[in-house]
Amino acid sequence: MDGSVLYLAMPGITSALTPTTDQALWILDSYGFAVSSLLIAFGNLGDRYGRLRFLLSGAVVFGVGSAGAAFSPSPELLIGCRVLMGLGGATLLPSGLAIISSLFPDPRQRSRAIGVFAATFAAGFAAGPVVGGLLLSRFAWGSVFLINIPVVVLFVALAPFLLREVRTSDPGRVDALSVVLSAAGILLTVYAVKAVAAEGFSTAQTVLGLVGAALLVWFARRQLTLEHPLLDLRLFQDRVFTVAILTGLLSLVAWAAAGYLTGTYLQSVLGHGVLAAALLALPGAAVLTAACVGANAAVERIGKRSALIASHFFMGTGLLLLLLTTGEQGVAAFIASSVVTGVGYGFSFSLVADTAVAAVPAERAGSAASIAETSNELGNALGISLLGSLAALCFRLTGPGVADTLDETLDTPGLPATTLAQAEHAFLTGMHVAIGVASALCLALGVLAVRWVPEEKPVPRA
């Protein structure tokens, strides 16, 4: 809910705080990078000290970060509060999935429970734009963060009575160097990519990118030597597991990039208000929620392999429909795209964790679940940073050169109509390029899934 609201709030945040292109992207994805960098480490700490304890402490940190974000007077402070929210979020996701798994030891029940768990994410995506649109049409942009506070209060009040503690007897030592290497490597590499998109190549940015890449290589090599690695790379020897993790990564890359870019398109190019843009997103959000809930029924009818493969082609085909958008009209293409991709997103959100866990031995299921969750969070951040940076680069190269973003250009007083039209056309070009890349990646992974995921053996009925 928080993520989908933020896409709608970005034009208001841009006008109020005037962030640079780089800062605007960090406002969107600093949460995702904080979560993805710490998710596996915090999952291991939860195993050692108790998942419920981590859930409660993470919820409090998330609430404090939300309150700080709501009243941030500058882009820098807003980014810092988003990072604090990410620290809380890193405790919530793996602990929540672990507690759900402990509540439902039966595999069929657990599969359905994970589907419902995924559906709550879809419901948040659906409710976020509507609630956010209502808030933003009446209140300042900070109100979209305050909606987290009552949820946190309710959770902290009820969780100790409704959930039970879960911990592992021998979780192993958390390797602090691996935590630092992964976090620093991801941040430096993506910062370099975003800086190049906003400002062009420079020696400093190239050095930062190379240092980040080197740290990630060091991190990967270190994981192969540890008894209890933060990221068990040996699991990727299984092709089905690899396809599942790539599905979790790319589905969120596509969803995040499309959500961010189309939110700006509907408001800044087509001129729709915040609430109108939110209502236009409802059909796709409803399909997404229904697909999450109905994924298990689809699996029982056509099999997990077919459902997983179908998710890629639904996503890739739906994204292609966004290429039909123009500067004058595009509402029909947007709705059609959100409906078609909603089926693919719903299937992937429900199937990724279950497929990844089922593909590995039982004693490695915890590591598989953590990697699946990490792929989702990292995909959410990469979608905005990498594809968002690609769109920003296209705008910088083809735009009028007045400002680094479309919203900043439109807010510049005294510009002639031809300059504004050029800016809108440049944004649309960047959006089409980024969406085209996302679609190509989804379709390519669908073809890979056809080749790598084996046919399922029929299960005899009792």
Q: What is the pLDDT of residues 22-50, one digit of tens each?
A: 788 788 878 877 876 777 677 667 766 77
pLDDT of residue 380: 75
Pick the CATH number of 2-175+226-452 from 1.20.1250.20, 3.40.50.720, 1.10.260.30, 1.25.40.10: 1.20.1250.20
Q: What is the pLDDT of residues 158-207, one digit of tens each?
A: 988 888 776 665 556 778 898 889 888 887 887 787 777 667 778 888 89
pLDDT of residue 126: 66
CA distance 242 to 229: 18
Are 233 and 224 a contacting pair, CB within 8 Å?
Answer: yes
Is the backbone of residue 50 left (phi > 0), alpha (psi -120 to 50) or beta? left
Q: What is the pLDDT of residues 442-452, one digit of tens each?
A: 999 999 999 99
Is 186 exposed, middle or buried (CB count within 10 Å of its CB: 0-12, 13-18, 19+)?
Answer: buried
Can you read off the two tokens belonging to residue 344?
């693919």
Q: Looking up tokens 């080749």, which residue turns up?
A: 451
pLDDT of residue 207: 92
Q: Is residue 362 scored above 70 in pLDDT?
A: no
Domain extents for the chain? 2-175+226-452, 176-225
Are 454 and 240 a contacting pair, CB within 8 Å?
Answer: yes
Q: Is residue 286 scored above 60 in pLDDT?
A: yes
Q: What does pLDDT average to over the chain?
A: 85
